Every structure is written in C-alpha cells, then in structure tokens.
Chains A and B, each alone.
Chain A
Amino acid sequence: MNVEIQHGPGSATATVRLDGGETCVAEGGAMIAMSSDLSVETTTRQREKGGLLSAAKRLLGGESMFLNHFTAGPSGGDLWLSTDLPGDMMSLELGNETLMVQAGSWVACEDGVDLDVSWQGMKSLFGGEGFFWLRLTGPGRVIVNSFGAFYPIEVSGEYVVDTGHIVAFQETMDYSVTKAAGGWMSSILGGEGLVCRFHGPGKVWAQSHCPPTFGRTLGPMLKPRD
C-alpha cells in the first residue's frame, strides 16, 4: 500500500495506491474517489474479528460504526481519502508496536493492522469531553488526520498536552490525566481543566487546533436543533 498526502497542511487528502488484491480499511465516509474496479465491502467489524460488541465500541469511539474494506482488482487501484474538518493528514508505518489514536483522528489503515477500541476507564472520560482511544497494532501503515497542523513532540522526561490536542501517542508511554495547575481553582477557572501528562521516552503527535473548542465557538452561533 502506497500513500501520498497532498494539499497539506490545510486541505490534506490521501491518495492510496493498492497493488492487485490489496485491501485498505477506512472509516465510513472517508472515500472521496476511487478506481472503478475497487470492490467495497462494508462491515460493522473488522473481517474475522470482533462482532457486534466491537462495532458498538467503535460507535462509542466516535468512529463510524461501519468500516469499509476497499480491495483492488488484479491490476491494482487508487483510493482517495479525506476528512470533515480542514487540516493535515499523515501516514505512519507501524512496526510491531501499538499506537493509541484519538477517535476522530483515525482515517484508514492497511488490512493487517489490528484495530480495537480501548476503554481507558474513567481516566478517558474525565480526560476530555468523552474522548475514546483507538488501539492500532502493527505491522502496517496507518493514516491519521489533524485539525490544523501536526505538532510532533519527542518526549524525554515529561510533557503536558491539552487532551483535545492529542492525535496519537505510542502505547509504551505512561500518561496521567491531571490538573493543569497546582490548584483546583486554577485548573477549572483557568480553562485548561484536565490535561494529559506524558512520561517519556516516546512520541506524541499533537494537533494545533482542537475540534471541541471550535465546536464550542461556532456552536452558539448556529440555529438550535428542535
């Protein structure tokens, strides 16, 4: 699977070139164009894995309940993937490692990558407006998107990231959801609330902008739903 990202960092789109018979798994709605001889299979689970429970977990994860499996014909094919919000996209090659990706930031992956919704317990719930994490285990290629620009951080020691700004991080890193400031008053009133404190070494990919904050800013201007 060959991935080319174009028109970053504002309007990124990923062109996936598949060899004959190769399959790419993408979230529902991500495909914007494709070769006519690509076959699409929509499942509520990854083939041969999971079941209805897995699909339900994915729904909670903010990802579409449906996964599309695009398989190229014998001569290979092209697949164009995109996202809802303006921003950048990135493709990462995973070795035998696990990447935790924020639900909403995951776009697609190679068929061999294991995709699971990870329940991080109460930490995740408090961590930031109901974020769930997707657990992606390689080997294989993964495509993620960012709202805004990617901001990769090599952590050695500790680093603090506002939870809405996290795109992905290596599972080997420890992290704790803590108050931003020393006191509770500062944390709540200062608007930073709870943040994620990563303990390295490891890598965190952050995004420059935060979808929930944009939603909160634009939301009040929109007509109320009935």
Chain B
Amino acid sequence: MEAEIKDRPAFAHVVVTLGPGESITAEADAMATMAAELELETTLNGGFFSALGKRLFGREPMFINSFTNNTMQEKQVMFSQGIPGDIMSIELNGNSFCLQPGAYLCSTPGVELGLKWAGVKSWISREGLCKLEVSGHGTVWYGAYGGMVEKEVDGEYIVDTSHLVGYDPSLSFNVQLAGGFFSSLFGGEGLVTRLEGRGMAVIQTRSLSGLAGWLNPRLE
C-alpha cells in the first residue's frame, strides 16, 4: 500500500494506492474518488452502543467504510475531509494516540478505534466530552481545520481551547484561565488547556469555532 498526502497544508487529501488484496478503513463520507473496481463495505464503528456513542459524543460517524482491492492490479482511492486544512499521519506500534472529535480520517486495518470519556474538563475547554483513542498496529491519518503543528511536551504546555487535535494518552489536561480574570475576559483568550506530562501534542492553527464566531455577528 502506498499513501501520499497531497496539497498540504491548506487542502490536504490522502491518495492511497492499494495493492491486490489490500484494504483501508475510512470514516463515512471520506471518499472523494476511487477506482470503480474497489469494493466498499460499511460496518458499525465498533459495537452498536460504542458506535452510537461515537456519533453522539465523538462527532465521528456511526459507520465506517472499508475499501478493498479484490483485483490483481493496483487501484487508487482518494480521501478528503469536509473542511480545508492539513492532514498528518501517525504510526502505531502497539501504542495508542488520542484524537479529538472529528479529526480521524482513515487508517490501515489493524488499527482499532475506541471511544473514551475525556472528562468534564475537556468539555469545558471545548474539546468535547469524548475523545477517540486509536491503538494497535498500523497508520492513522487525521486532519484539522487549518494547519497543524507538532509539539513535544515535557512538563507543561498551554494550548488555546478548541485548538487541540491529538495527543499522547500519557498527557493529562486541565482547564484554566488564560491570564488573570481581567485579561482572560477582555484579552480574548478566555479559557485555555494546560497539558501536563511527557508526550507529543498536535495543535491546529485555526479553529472552526473561531471562524463561526467571526461569522455569526455578521450574519443577517
């Protein structure tokens, strides 16, 4: 299997070339174009309640699609996200990674998608009630609105609310005011997320709620 992330960072999309017998899993509606000979199978994203939970809390679709190449030639499929932005991939070797709701795009078979409770703190920091924990062996592609920056956290780090894309499960997070009470209220930063521990965090450079917040007062 070959996969290439093209047209980064503004309009990233993943072009996957599947060899004979190979398959790839993707969230519902991620497929933009594909060779006609590929077979598509839709399954529940986990058990029924797990899938339902992912839909309600994880903002992930309830169903996932599996694209399989049952021919003897290489076939291509292209995945993209609904929003403009960057896509990155992570290799899992038995470890796991937490993804924010909506970030997951596609993965190789062998990667499991699990829904985890992220805590009330997460909800307050506008990161959602639940997070998607991907684990197993393989590659996961995830994306966000805007560009993405990787940051190795050692100790503590602050991330603006709704700008977190993914992080090592070893990191814990807390919500706090950006500055003092006055600065938080008027400085426009409000609440921020404080990541603690050692691990990698992925931050998105734009947020959709930021765009919505800019648009809303201008709507008729």
User: In the complex, what's the smallest C-beta–C-beta distance from B12 to chain A, in angstroms?
Assistant: 8
Q: Which of B177-185, B186-194, B205-213 is the contact stretch?
A: B205-213
The complex places the Cα of A9 from the Cα of B12 at a distance, in Å, of 11
Say whether B36 contacts A160, CB under 8 Å: yes
A210 and B80 form a contact (CB under 8 A): yes
Say yes or no: is A158 at the interface (Cβ < 8 Å to chain B): yes
B41 sits at the interface (CB 8 A):
yes
Please tell me the size bucket of the interface on B.
Answer: 35 or more
- Judge whether B41 and A209 touch: CB under 8 Å: no
Residue-wise interface mask of B (4-21) relative to A, using a CB-CB cutoff of 8 A (1 in contact, 0 not):
001100111100000000
- A32 touches B (CB below 8 Å): no
Answer yes or no: B215 CB below 8 A from chain A CBs: yes
- Give B55 Cβ to nearest chain A Cβ, in Å: 11
Q: Which of A44-52, A60-68, A98-106, A149-157 lies at the interface with chain B? A: A149-157
A153 contacts B211, CB within 8 Å? no
B32 within 8 Å of A (CB atoms):
yes
**C-alpha gap A225/B219 in the complex (Å):** 8
Given contacts A189-B28, A191-B29, A217-B208, contact A208 B36 (CB under 8 A): no
Interface residue tally for chain A (C-beta within 8 Å) = 41
Pair A148/B80 contact, Cβ less than 8 Å: yes
B173 interfacial contact with A, CB 8 Å: no
**B3 on the interface (CB 8 Å rule)?**
no
- For residue B83, which residues in chain A have a CB less than 8 angstroms away from its CB? 209, 214, 217-218
Extra inter-chain contacts (13) besides given A148-B13, A149-B7, A214-B83, CB under 8 Å: A149-B11, A157-B36, A158-B37, A159-B33, A160-B35, A181-B41, A181-B65, A190-B29, A191-B27, A208-B12, A208-B32, A216-B82, A217-B83
